[in-house]
Amino acid sequence: MEYALLQAVFLPLLLSPIAYIIGRKIGPTPAMWFTFGILLYATVLIILATLSGTTEEHYPWTEQFGEFGFLLDGLASPFAIMIYVLSTILVLYSKPYMIHRFHEQYEEEHEITSTSGNSTIVESSSLSNYVNAKSGLYFALYLVFAMGMLGTVLSTNLIEFYVFFEIMLIPGFFLVALWGAGQRRKIGLMFLFWTHAGAVVLLLGFLMIGLTIGSFNFADIQESEIPKDILMLSAIAISIGLGVKLAVFMFHIWLPWVHGAAPTPISALLSPAMIGIGAYGIFRLIVEFLPNTFADLSIWFHIWGLVTMIYGGAMALMQDDIKRLLAYSSISQMGYILFGIGSMSVLGLSGAEMMYVTHALGKGILFMMAGIIIVKVGTRNISQLGGLAGKMPITAVCAVIG
């Protein structure tokens, strides 16, 4: 199909205002199905493009930044498919969970604004309008968040990669800050600060390469001879920037806090899909485009991955909060991916990419199960849970599968 990748990336962005209007004017159910339909269509486009082989699209942009385009090849397709498959499924999961969250927030705001000591009767029309407004904004931000992740994976230009990389941070911040739990605004700012700081370091690496060779296009990077000192400095900057996104050891601090506060549908996208984009960036930008520098850095990726594996696993065992446990588990599994990348072998690199796929599916299921438990039981403390398999057998089976 012509313009398949362009449609898959930009339709969610262009139609997000309509999702907002539908949610605000009609209600959360039509907004959910509208969002689901957009992402399902985009997912089908990605799958069909993958089945047809390598798909590449190029569009005029600016002479200064090079060519704007999308590339779906054997490396990008597993990441792209997982991002949109998870995003599509989680739309359906989002509606009941987020309506429950909107009701909680409405009651909290009502308690704060009430001057009477007696409980007041909440008018159903007022609550309905509140839920409609919030659901419209939620699904609009959700669409932008999903398209930002996909655009990053399909980029063919360093500046384009950076733009999409930043785009997904903005809705991610609002989704956490508006509808998270606890100190959601502070934690939302923590998420924004850490990920934006990583993106700035990443941009510095991109600028070193682009200004040296006079182009930001991926194809030109492969064909150019770059001085070794520039290569090493840019590779280190790119690794640090992507390491923040990957939430590996030393740059992982933000992830457990954000998972603890974020709405569970967003946690189910953050950990399985979004942080893995850091691994994709290392694959594409360092392993593929800077192979000689990667050979020099591979042992450090190996060590970094090993430390992350052990640290994340050890910290997961200490957690009582089920979502923080899953967050540290994700950190450990990102260490496995980095360890595989550092192996410099076909099996290691293939295994690292497969680890992303299995982690995306498994951890997505586990976060959904965690959200169900939190809503049904009313606690996220593992020490207060027990004997739920008999009362929630479907949830228990899905958790075992995850």
**255 within a domain of the structure (yes/no):** no
Q: What is the arithmetic mean of pLDDT over 27-34? A: 93
**181 within a domain of the structure (yes/no):** no
Q: What is the pLDDT of residue 49?
A: 92
Q: Is the pLDDT of residue 315 over 70?
A: yes
Percent of the chain with pLDDT over 90: 50
CB 351, CB 314: distance < 8 Å: no
Say if strands 66-72 and 55-62 run parallel, antiparallel, or are unpaired: antiparallel
Exposed / middle / buried, residue 281 (Cβ in 10 Å: 0-12, 13-18, 19+): buried
CB atoms within 10 A of CB 105: 16
Q: What is the pLDDT of residue 117?
A: 46
d(CA 203, CA 201): 5
Q: What is the pLDDT of residue 123?
A: 56
Question: Quick one: the chain helix, strand, coil %, rounded to 5?
Answer: 80, 5, 15
Which helix (H) or strand (E) covers residue 70, if one does? strand 66-72
Q: What is the arithmetic mean of pLDDT over 27-33? A: 93
Per-residue model confidence as pLDDT tens digits over 61-109 = 766 777 788 999 989 999 999 999 999 999 999 999 899 888 888 887 7
**147 within a domain of the structure (yes/no):** yes
**Which residue in 269, 240, 270 sits closest to 257, CA to CA?**
270
- DSSP secondary-structure letter at 381? B
Question: Model confidence at 272, in pLDDT bands (50, 70, 90)?
Answer: confident
Classify the C-alpha dihedral 193-195-200-201 as positive or negative.
positive
Number of domains comprising the chain? 1
Longest dimension (CA), the chain: 74
Where do we find the tokens 């939620």?
Answer: 138
Per-residue model confidence as pLDDT tens digits over 227-247 = 888 889 999 999 999 999 888
Please state the separation of Cα 366 from the chain's center in Å: 16
Classify the C-alpha dihedral 378-384-385-386 as positive or negative.
negative
Q: What is the pLDDT of residue 159?
A: 92
Where do we find the tokens 């260490």?
Answer: 335
Q: Is the pLDDT of residue 120 over 60?
A: no
Mean pLDDT of the chain: 88
Q: What is the pLDDT of residue 227?
A: 86
**48 within a domain of the structure (yes/no):** yes
d(CA 23, CA 18): 8
Q: Could you tell me which residues come within 8 angstroms of residue 252 by beta carbon, excluding any fewer than 6 positions away?
A: 308, 311, 312, 331
Q: What is the pLDDT of residue 106?
A: 84
Q: Is the pLDDT of residue 119 over 50?
A: no
Q: What is the arithmetic mean of pLDDT over 184-196? A: 91
**114 within a domain of the structure (yes/no):** no
Q: Which amino acid is at 206?
A: F
Q: What is the pLDDT of residue 84?
A: 93
Q: How far apart are the first and last CA of the chain?
A: 34
CB 57, CB 9: distance < 8 Å: no
CB atoms within 10 A of CB 355: 20
Segments forming the whole domain that contains residue 93: 1-108+123-156
Which range of 81-85, 96-100, 266-270, 340-344 scores highest in mean pLDDT? It is 81-85
**314 within a domain of the structure (yes/no):** no
**57 within a domain of the structure (yes/no):** yes
**305 within a domain of the structure (yes/no):** no
